Chain A
Amino acid sequence: MGNVAEATPGQELQVAQRSGWRSLLAQTEIDPRLFGMVAALGIILVGFHVISGGTFLRPANMVTLGIQASGIAVIATGMVLVIVSRNIDLSVGSLVGIVAMVYAELMANWLTALGIGVDFPFRWAIALAIGIGVGAAFGALQGFIIAYIGVPSFVVTLGGLLSIRGLVWYLSEGAAVTGLDPTFELFGGGGSGSIGGTLTWAVGIVGSLAVVGLLFQNRRRRRQFGFPVRPMWAEVVLGVFACAAILGISAFMNQSFFAQRIADQINAQTGAPAGTPVSAGFPYPVMILVAVTLVMTWLATRRRFGRYVYAYGGNPDAASLAGINTRMTILKTYVIMGILCAISAAIAVGRLNVATLDIGQSYELYVIAAAVVGGTSFAGGIGTIPGAVLGAFVMQSLAYGLAYIGIDSPGQNVAAGVVLILAVALDAWTRRRGTRTTR
């Protein structure tokens, strides 16, 4: 317990050097970069709301925005690990393309040919599993060439970008493929592809309880070891804000409703009179993103694999001298990318309900932009998964908002490019200032 007495004054001293709200923010131990991203996202959303004359921030718009951002954000969580370990993956768009085509071919043709007809149970799951396997296999192949043969990742994945897109064409013989399983379409979040009002509240409540539980557990563990802990007011503020945000978003999303045709099917089951609106809540792709973000954050921060990815990014020599199997670590990051691309492909193909030849095109640019805007550094070793998800939402709300107020696609690209550079410049500036004062 002697440690408490020793360590606490040091920390208070450090905090006292800062002033005003900065000091308060520091005591909550919130990552200031993440805090800035949330603020930026809020400013963008409210800004478009004002410009659009108060129509932008409607649940239906946010559902569309959420679905669009999910496809990018899912892959961006993996791109963080790739960039943190000093590599790059340019092939994600083509990987999405090939897996989307595999899904479509499986459900439209191949599975039936194998005797798994349209009535076969969990047909969509079989297709999903095979698609994820295909994504993982392409990822493993590229990862092997990068990690074990030593070809630079830029070159390998540039080759992947070109050649895998070519394979998409051969797979489909140059035509779009339709005929998806109806269940598979739910991945895209269209039509009945939302979890519904009750489940949305359940998600919100479970999420809030989880946040409180984690805060409590963390505090108790640090107490146990006699480490300094956050002041109690900071814990409360954090807990209250997090729960309010989660429940607030849940309530907001429940203000979006199923189309009346779908709502009436549900009403027929529940016995409610036809014409009653039914809350749609979170769309499936957003729930997929939440799950992916949780799993990837856990991998990155609580597993050895994640620790080794960051260690390699910080100092590759130190990682290998510490006895880490660095090659296997790098290979695994690409396998994960393949799996994430397959998940994103399910969202894309489910949403369009057709696998076109250009599905996933230019994803690599949006995904890398999301990771970089989210604070991932090309110098290696720095970047967080929640940051990249927020980055994807910042970029996507910008594009969606500009489109909403009538800016054409070239104008959106100009804005996206400028914001990308500004975000990184701001980051570099705060980092330089930060090395002297905060960290």
Chain B
Amino acid sequence: MTTTAETSSPMGSVSAGPIVEMRNIRVSFGGVHAVDDVSIDLRPGEVVGLVGGNGAGKSTLMKVLSGAQRPDSGEIRINGEPVAIMNPRDAKKYGIETIYQTLALADNLDAPGNLFLGRELTTSIGQINDSAMEDQTRKVMGRLNPNFKAFKKPVVSLSGGQRQAVAIARAIYFNARILIMDEPTAALGPGETAQVRNLIKQLKAEGIAIFLVSHDIHDVFDLSERISVMYHGRIVDTVNKSDVTTDEVLGMIILGKAPGKLTEKDIADIKG
């Protein structure tokens, strides 16, 4: 990976500052700049909402942090230290866990199999310890979804909410410090959505830093401190939630213009 050595970061922070800093990240797919010189940061116990239209580059940017996509250039710092995240394993090493929009579950495996996928518990002779994994899964699922009983069934036979719970359990079980949630409520009913929202608040209180990628402007406004808006691969602006209205954020999403640059006509157009 190309890590451009920066002599002095503008934040200049060491430990009290951001837990994640992504600097000048670029990703292009055959000439199309999916992510174009993007810088973004995240502090412990903070939720940063990442919003933008389809193809704005939100998911690609988050894939860079979770190790699923290598950037063409740019630098990632964790606790101020430059790190190389070449693959998902590296990301997990730094305490970065991701809940993907697709959930990324192996449908044919059961809940414990998915929760521990890639990090199976083994016995002293290296055999997979299914009982221990089931035991741990029962404990963590008991917290998230006490009604969950299907520990031996392939997850393909579970409901959307149960599958989501498995994906969330996988992310929080391994003591994540940084959590990426990509559209966590997109496929859920109202009750389950409320559950996920409560969970996000709880995790935030525990000091976990969260990137919340969402289409749902209300989710983002409810849950995050700061909002970063992406438009055509670039960050339009990162704003404090308290400084903006939903209309202004919508303006950034739809037109790619920072709040100060919106005209009366733009706002009228958004409101339709």
B107 touches A381 (CB 8 A): yes
| Residues of B with C-beta under 8 A to A3 | 138
> What is the minimal beta-carbon distance from A225 to any residue of chain B, in angstroms?
5
Q: Does B89 belong to the interface (CB within 8 Å)?
A: yes
**A2–chain B nearest beta-carbon distance, Å:** 9
A315 at the interface (CB under 8 A from B): yes
Contact bitstring A319-340, B, C-beta under 8 A = 1, else 0: 1111110000000000000000
The CB with the most chain A CB atoms within 10 A, among B66, B126, B128, B134, is that of: B128
Interface of B is mostly: loop
Known: A304-B122, A321-B98, A323-B92. A222 touches B104 (CB 8 A): no
Q: How far is the CB of A405 from chain B (nearest CB, A)?
A: 40
In the complex, B106 has a CB within 8 A of chain A: yes
Q: Are B118 and A315 in contact (CB under 8 A)?
A: no
Cβ-defined contact, A439 with B131, below 8 A: no
Quote the shortest CB–CB distance from A305 to chain B (angstroms): 10
Nearest CB in chain A to that of B117: its residue: A322
A-B contact pairs, 20 of them (CB 8 A): A10-B149, A225-B134, A225-B135, A304-B126, A310-B108, A310-B109, A311-B106, A315-B105, A315-B106, A315-B107, A317-B102, A318-B106, A319-B117, A321-B98, A321-B100, A321-B104, A323-B118, A324-B118, A381-B108, A439-B153
CA distance A375 to B164 in the complex (A): 29
Chain A residues in contact with chain B, CB under 8 A? 3, 6-7, 10, 221-222, 224-225, 227, 301-304, 307-308, 310-315, 317-324, 381-382, 435, 439
- State the CA gap A406–B105 with chains docked (Å): 52
B127 contacts partner chain A, Cβ-Cβ < 8 Å? yes
- List chain A residues, Cβ under 8 A from B119: 322-323
Docked-complex contact B128 and A318, CB < 8 angstroms: no
Count how many chain B residues have C-beta atoms less than 8 Å from C-beta atoms of the other chain.
Answer: 35
Instruction: State which residues 106-126 of B face A: CB under 8 Å.
Output: 106-109, 113-114, 117-120, 122, 126
With A311-B108, A320-B68 known, 7 other A-B pairs at CB within 8 A are A227-B134, A311-B117, A314-B109, A321-B100, A322-B117, A323-B92, A323-B118
Minimum C-beta distance from B150 to chain A (A): 9
A310-B131 in contact (CB<8A): no
- CB-CB under 8 A from B118, the residues of chain A are 308, 319, 322-324
Q: Mark B88-104, 1 if CB is under 8 A from A, else 0.
A: 11001000001010101
Q: How far is the CA of A222 from the CA of B105 in the complex (A)?
A: 25
Instruction: Collect the chain B residues with CB atoms within 8 Å of residue A323's CB.
Output: 67, 87-89, 92, 118-119
A307 with B120: CB separation less than 8 A: yes
| CB-nearest residue of chain A to B89 | A323
Chain B, residue nearest A322 (CB): B118
CB distance from B231 to the nearest CB of A (A): 26
B154 at the interface (CB under 8 A from A): yes
Q: Are A303 and B117 in contact (CB under 8 A)?
A: no
Q: Most chain-A Cβ atoms within 10 A of its Cβ — which of B66, B122, B135, B149? A: B149
B120 touches A439 (CB 8 A): no
Interface residues of B in 122-164 (CB under 8 A from A): 122, 126-128, 131-132, 134-135, 138, 149, 153-154, 157
Q: From A435, which residue of chain B is reached at the shortest CB distance?
A: B157
Cβ A227 vs Cβ B157 within 8 A: no
Whether the Cβ atoms of A221 and B131 lie closer than 8 Å is yes
CB distance from A147 to the nearest CB of B (A): 16
Closest to A224 in B: B131
